[in-house]
A and B are shown apart, each in its own frame.
Chain A
Amino acid sequence: MAEPTPLAEMRGVWREFGGIVALRDIDLAVAAGEIVALIGPNGAGKTTLLNILSGVLGPTRGEVRFRGTSIVGSAPHRAARAGLTRTFQQLQLFTSLSALENVLVACEARSSARVDPSEAMGYLDTVGLHGQGHAHADTLAFGQRRLVEMGRALAARPALLLLDEPAAGLSGAERRALSELLIRIRAQGVTVLIVEHDLELALSVADRVVVLDQGVKIADLPPDAVRDDPGVVSAYLGTP
């Protein structure tokens, strides 16, 4: 039986910065409906991979496709309009706009019809920011700012959502809320690729875990096999 076309895929992707190889011959396919966690030590190339998959950065060599169409060399907004969006490890909020306007911009970007602010409000409710819409984005607490970015990404109604360390800087309660949110997001049919340092969180939500080490993909496993994989343990988890 032929494999269905993956939603997003990288083939033979290399990325070099000057003489440094950040990604080495990466193959990665993300199927519709799954949650894939991308883990690895600092400097493994996780964010570079997200940058390339989202079209922010071009690969030095190799092919990147979203919905079967190459995104190499095209502006990121094209893939975004086709249903790919992301959040950022270094927050990229629209700081001169309110929380609500941050989300509203995302709603307006995908549709030329008039957007009812209550629709945007709904996305803030989804991420647990009920009643915070009129706060200026840069006056919110750090965790809340992360949630605004998440709400904004959801407002784009993505088919594939790339999350770059969404739990960084969140409190324990906020982390639990985030993992519940991720499960709800998947229930809505959104495919998620999540880069996360919090291994507990990553393993609890993922269907599949991809491990990067020094720019090389060293494992692609179900979450319950990750802790037992000798290569992953030595590269990332360390000796117990």
Chain B
Amino acid sequence: MTRRDLILLGAVAAAILVAPVFASGYVLGILVTTGLYGIATIGLVLLVGLAKQVSLGHAAFYGLGAYVSGLLGTRLGLHPLVTIPLAAAAAGAVAYLVGRPVLRLRGHYLAMATLGLGVVFQVILNEWVDVSRGPSGFSGIASIAVPIPGMTRDGRTLYVIWAVALAILALSLWLVRSRAGRALRAIGDSEIASELLGIGTATWKLRVFALSAAYAGIAGALYAHYVTFLSPQPFGFVFSLELLVMAVVGGIASVWGGMIGAFTIVVLTEVLRRSLPSSLPGASGELELVLFGAALIAMVVVWPTGLAGIAASIGARVTPRLRRALRPAHG
């Protein structure tokens, strides 16, 4: 983690801390959603950006985390502090089982396997009614809002979700610069060369995939305790795709990019949801998907480093000028 990362983390923490005082419930909702999606997207950044392995089923891990935490809470009365880590572990374990056979192979088999996993997960949620309560879902999930008198539930939930999100950000920023991060980037660049240096590429890919799924599991679990109601509908393929779009738009190789991408897409979705019915009457949610698809292609073609890459290059241009401007003039 660099000094810049620490400053940014501090700035984000401060912004979140004061947000409930200034921001409306609507804006707080956007920030909560950004935190949730950001956690899952950062997991994808580690998986796709470093190890160059694609998951098309992250919605399933998010959903699995949500259902594990929600069901353990409502059925067994366990506290979220217990069920959220269990949700992360469950998502990680499923990823491990799915990844183990396919990650021994070189190539994009993981994308295929996770695509299948997403479909299977939807079927299980809809059909295993005794456990999942089927398509109609269930409610009564405990809220994780911290008790602060005089603050709305949105604000109190925001604190909890962003405490976790900041921890995930910090952990991931450390990870990418660690020895493990270097090994993963090496694997992403050349699996063969990594193997020939003695790096067990299958093991490393499996680890980062499980970690990435665990992130999604945590985010899903937090989501369950935020909305307090679950049904299978939000955890389909479209959401997996949206998470990938967030990662690519933000900058696939940047941890901050994951958070930036999540924020951008959440805001864009809101803007579209508000403006589309008036500007294009009869347009459905499908159009949203078309626009995201176009955004994805545009980013990959024009700015492959994403918004984080753009921000970094602007920063690199502006910083020396700022320094020059701020330096006291001599003679």
Contact = CB atoms under 8 A, between A and B. Distances in A.
Contacts of A81: 198
Interface in B195-219: 195-202
B195 A77 contact: yes
B183 A88 contact: no
A94 B189 contact: yes
Contact of A105 (B197, B200, B201): B197
A56 B192 CA distance: 7
Contact of A80 (B185, B190, B197): B197
A105 B182 CA distance: 7
A56 B185 CA distance: 20
A19 to B, nearest CB: 24
Contacts of A99: none
B321 interface: no
B102 interface: no
Contacts of B189: 92-97
Contacts of B183: 105, 108-109
Contacts of B193: 88, 92-94, 149, 152
Given A92-B192, A94-B190, A97-B189, A104 B182 contact: yes
Nearest to B190: A92
Interface of B: 104, 179, 182-183, 185-186, 188-190, 192-202, 253
B199 A77 contact: yes
Contact of B197 (A95, A101, A152): A152
Contacts, number: 82
Interface of A: 54, 56, 75-77, 80-81, 84-86, 88, 92-97, 101-102, 104-106, 108-110, 149, 152-153, 156
A108 B179 contact: yes
Given A94-B185, A94-B186, A105-B183, A77 B192 contact: no
Nearest to B202: A75
18 contacts: A54-B196, A76-B196, A77-B198, A80-B196, A93-B193, A94-B185, A94-B186, A94-B190, A94-B193, A96-B188, A97-B186, A105-B186, A105-B194, A105-B197, A106-B197, A109-B183, A109-B199, A156-B197
A80 to B, nearest CB: 4
Task: State the 4 A-B residue pairs at the shortest beta-carbon distance, nearest first.
Answer: A92-B193, A80-B198, A92-B190, A94-B189
A153 B195 CA distance: 12
B186 A86 contact: no
Nearest to A108: B179
Given A92-B189, A110-B197, 16 more contacts: A75-B104, A75-B201, A77-B194, A77-B200, A77-B201, A92-B192, A93-B189, A94-B185, A105-B182, A105-B186, A106-B197, A108-B182, A109-B197, A109-B199, A149-B193, A156-B197
Contacts of B182: 97, 101, 104-105, 108
Contacts of B185: 94, 96-97
Given A77-B201, A96-B185, A86 B190 contact: no
Contacts of B192: 56, 76, 88, 92
A75 B186 contact: no
A96 to B, nearest CB: 5
A54 B185 CA distance: 22
A133 to B, nearest CB: 14
Contacts of A54: 196
A104 B181 CA distance: 12
B182 to A, nearest CB: 5
A77 B200 CA distance: 6
A211 to B, nearest CB: 25
Contacts of A95: 189
Which residue, of A56, A77, A102, has the highest number of chain B Cβ atoms within 10 A? A77
B178 to A, nearest CB: 10
A109 B198 contact: yes
A109 B199 CA distance: 6
B105 to A, nearest CB: 11
